[in-house]
A and B are shown apart, each in its own frame.
Chain A
Amino acid sequence: MTQSTTPGVLLEVREASRSFGHVRALDSVSLTIAENEFFALLGPSGCGKTTLLRSIAGFEHPDSGAILLGGRDLLALPPNKRPVNLMFQSYALFPHLSVASNVAYGLKREKLPKAEVTQRVAEVLDTVGLQTMADRRPAQLSGGQRQRVALARAIVKRPRLLLLDEPLSALDRKVRAEMQLELKRLQHEVGITFVVVTHDQEEAMSMADRIAVLAEGRVQQVASPLELYRHPANLFVADFIGTSNLLAGPSDRERLMVRPEDARLVTPGEGTLSGTVLDTQFQGGTSTVAVEVSTLAKPFLVCEPGATAAVRGTEVGLVWDHSVVVGEGLA
């Protein structure tokens, strides 16, 4: 049992590595997650985020490294003995049990008195707004309701850490936006540390306090959504988070990044760059103007408030208030 030295740290991953054949799913990953934090593991498929999540839950075992929860070695415990719960991507609701029995499953394994089980199940179903669905089977519920049951089943155990594997991927767009807010509210309400795995940067940005961006089994950057957006550690992060215009940088291995909302259209000849308006898109609150610049491979995107005055085919100049130099290589 190693004692964690930093107060407020709940989970600590120390140089965890895991290989599957030639593929390094985790390559010396180190992370700390604080108590009551809403943390996101973000990256494209195959970046190692799922392997890390499953290692914390106990369904994978790192080849080397350590995972500590509140200073206790997690890797020594089987999944059923870890004070951690996982909400599965497929929800994995037991089809032969009712909603209430699904939620009660984990409490019954703790051999709690019947009255306490019944009370806690009722409470948590109330929290997720499913009190009227207690006797239904999972097959009789909508996708959003199923997700609430999966969530209730995990949080009713009062874990120290709740892992959520792509929690919103199975929902349609409208329900997803609703559930993003709902998850944040719930995390606040139940006071459990949430770790969400997702490939959707918008989802991670809108929910998480801090995000770890992973690629090729390595942590690229751990920061708040704002910090990631304004100061990406490298080209991969810059490209993965939001939209960016990438221009030639001060050296061969560096690029200059300009966010579309930091750029403005000016009269031709007055800008840092000039080009031809290729297309304009009206999005309601904002408009996006795509400008073809002869020295760039991709059109330069400019985000303007409201409707744009730009006309397709006309010459324009481009200026920006803010730019960041980013390195090309992966961490």
Chain B
Amino acid sequence: MPSRTAGRAAGRAAGRRTGLGWLWLPLGLCALFLYLPILVLVAMSFNGGGSAYRWDGFSFRWYAELARDSDLIEAVVTSLGIATGATAIATVLGTLLAVGLARHTRSKMLEAAAMAPAILPDLVLAIGLLAFFYMAGIPKSALTILLAHAAFGTAFVVAVVRARLAGSDAALEEASRDLGAGGFSTFVLVTLPSIAPAVVAGALLVFTLSLDEFVIAYFTAGPTTETLPITVYAMVRTGVTPEINALATVLVLISVTVVVVAARAVRRTEKS
């Protein structure tokens, strides 16, 4: 893309003229501060030796090790299942709740109540859910984690979608009604397309939050259910090997891919 590179060069030239070019230094340092840990993590995943801290030459050994570790793979599958289910529930409930809050009530109390689980400390939510499941007589399992994650995930979806609705024109929905559409058609044909980017963003947020959530999962897990964070926590207690790094690198790769694909999808819907 020649125009983009030209733009960048022009930007640098402008930076020199305005005397703000030195700002590249703090920017670089900040980027280093943010990404150095991830770079170290990725680099150490290719360590040939058994230590997570000392470099012993390049090797794919720990990736092979990872592929053979059935406990870890099982934990990944469990976590992905929980994250998928929690995302589905939270996205649907959170979107409907956000639309209701934005269009059918002026209550600030209800709004605060809907978003509270996102702000509450995880520990509070975890203890509360533990007590709730116990009193309701629901045995702890992967399903209880899924429900717990859906609960706090809903709050995040509400927060993201509500913000989008605040900036969108309520006249669009009135126009749809005026042109003969009922409430449901209006929601599907007009409201949903206009908030789609926020719904996608909210869903992604819930998915990633659920995937690496530890405290609530630890409290609400059944005796035999192990999510990825719980398994990794147990592994780290018996000593860190570069296998963890290999696992983390794979997760980073998946996250980056998902975020890039979603960002592109959102940009496409926004353009149109």
A interface with B by C-beta (< 8 Å) = 57-59, 78-81, 85-86, 88-90, 92-96, 105-106, 109-110, 137, 153-154, 157
Contacts and interface: CB of A to CB of B under 8 A. Distances in A.
Contacts of A57: 178
Closest 4 CB pairs of A and B: A106-B179, A109-B180, A92-B175, A92-B171
Contacts of B182: 80
Nearest to A79: B177
A88 B171 CA distance: 7
Interface in B158-193: 169, 171-172, 174-182, 185, 189-190, 193
15 contacts: A58-B177, A58-B178, A59-B177, A79-B178, A80-B178, A80-B180, A85-B178, A89-B171, A90-B169, A94-B172, A96-B272, A109-B180, A110-B180, A153-B179, A154-B179
Contacts of A88: 171, 174-175
B172 to A, nearest CB: 5
Given A109-B185, A157-B180, 12 more contacts: A57-B178, A58-B178, A79-B177, A88-B171, A92-B175, A96-B269, A105-B176, A105-B179, A109-B179, A109-B180, A137-B272, A153-B179
A157 B176 CA distance: 13
Nearest to B185: A109
A153 B190 CA distance: 15
B177 A92 contact: no
Contacts of A86: 174-175, 178
B194 interface: yes
B200 to A, nearest CB: 14
Contact of A95 (B174, B179, B194): B194
B141 to A, nearest CB: 41
A78 B189 CA distance: 19
Nearest to A98: B272
B169 to A, nearest CB: 6
Contacts of A96: 193-194, 269, 272
A89 B272 CA distance: 22
B179 A157 contact: yes
Contacts of B272: 95-96, 137
Contacts of A157: 179-180
Nearest to B181: A109
Contacts of A92: 169, 171-172, 174-175
Contacts of A59: 174, 177
Given A95-B194, A96-B269, A80 B171 contact: no
Question: Which of B172, B178, B193, B194 has the largest number of chain A CB atoms within 10 A?
Answer: B178
Contacts of B174: 59, 79, 86, 88, 92
Nearest to B182: A80
Interface in B168-227: 169, 171-172, 174-182, 185, 189-190, 193-194
A94 B172 CA distance: 7
A94 B180 CA distance: 15
B168 to A, nearest CB: 10
A57 B175 CA distance: 10
Contact of A106 (B171, B180, B190, B194): B180
A81 to B, nearest CB: 8
Contacts of A78: 177
A199 to B, nearest CB: 18
Contacts of A109: 179-181, 185
A249 B35 CA distance: 82
A22 B121 CA distance: 43
Nearest to B272: A96
Question: Which of B175, B182, B190, B269 has the largest number of chain A CB atoms within 10 A?
Answer: B175
A108 to B, nearest CB: 9
Nearest to B175: A92
A281 B121 CA distance: 71
Contacts of B176: 94, 105
B189 to A, nearest CB: 8
A33 B206 CA distance: 55
A89 B178 CA distance: 14
A78 B269 CA distance: 31
